[in-house]
Amino acid sequence: MSAAFYQEQVKFYVAVDCIILGFNNNELNVLLYKRNFEPMKGEWSLMGGFVRSEEGLDEAATRVLTDCTGIDNIFMEQIGAYGEVTRDYGERVISAAYYALVNMNDFSQELLEQYNAKWTKVTEVPTLIFDHNKMLHDALSRLKRKAATRPIGFNLLPEKFTLPQLQCLYEAIYQTPLDKRNFRKKLNAMDILEKLDEKDKKNSKRGAFYYMFNKEKYDHLLEQGFYFSL
């Protein structure tokens, strides 16, 4: 065999699909959009796009994310490749799925309308095209596992957030209620948050203190064998 061996092989369309997750009103949301081309035009789907010849998979996902969110530097991770023969009803397409964690406040209504996009609670997601429901399910499983041992949840919150907010987030991710005092005790012990003087008074008269995730502190602790865990 020789390099000519490559030429005998079949080629495939390759796409990326992005599970864009946000957090709002104590619920995880996913960004869906109404497909504007055939097949399945008009159906709900994840954000996706074909991979181009000059870009790698990660770059393609980054491009799709930037295009449809207008945001740079989004947290994003591949969850796997989906390659069932009949997964796309149009043509044979192999797709790499990526989940992304964003701050929903960064989205303008115009941007969403421009793309026919809609935030949907993950508990109320309709039937999506192809295997997109499975992709979403896999993304949520991954998030559940990973958020427990890595400080990735903060990507779903604004830079400044309160502890009740953070707890709600983790309750949404784990789909289970958490004990307030135990939750706070853990965070306190890890010592990776910066407490601000400012308070958020949107949800109570008393107000809750704002905190920020201190990445420098976290990275420093990591080197000393520390492990994040929530």
Cβ-based neighbours of 17, under 8 Å, separated by 6 or more: 45, 46, 47, 48, 82, 95, 96, 97, 98, 132, 135
Number of residues that bind DNA (CB under 7 A): 19
56 phi, psi to nearest 5 deg: -80, 175
Is there binding between residue 176 and a second copy (CB under 8 A)?
Answer: no
The least CB distance from residue 65 to a second copy, in Å, is 16
Residue pair 16/97 in contact (Cβ under 8 Å)? The answer is: yes
Is there binding between residue 111 and a second copy (CB under 8 A)?
Answer: no
17 phi, psi to nearest 5 deg: -125, 140
Is there binding between residue 185 and DNA (CB under 7 A)?
Answer: yes
The least CB distance from residue 42 to DNA, in Å, is 39
Per-position x/- string for 123-162, each x denoting binding to DNA as judged by CB under 7 A, each - no binding? ---------------------------------------x
Of 50, 199, 201, 220, the residue at the interface with a second copy (CB under 8 A) is: 50
Selection from 155, 174, 45 nearest residue 100 by Cα: 155
Binding site for DNA (CB under 7 A): 162-164, 179-182, 184-186, 201, 203-209, 229
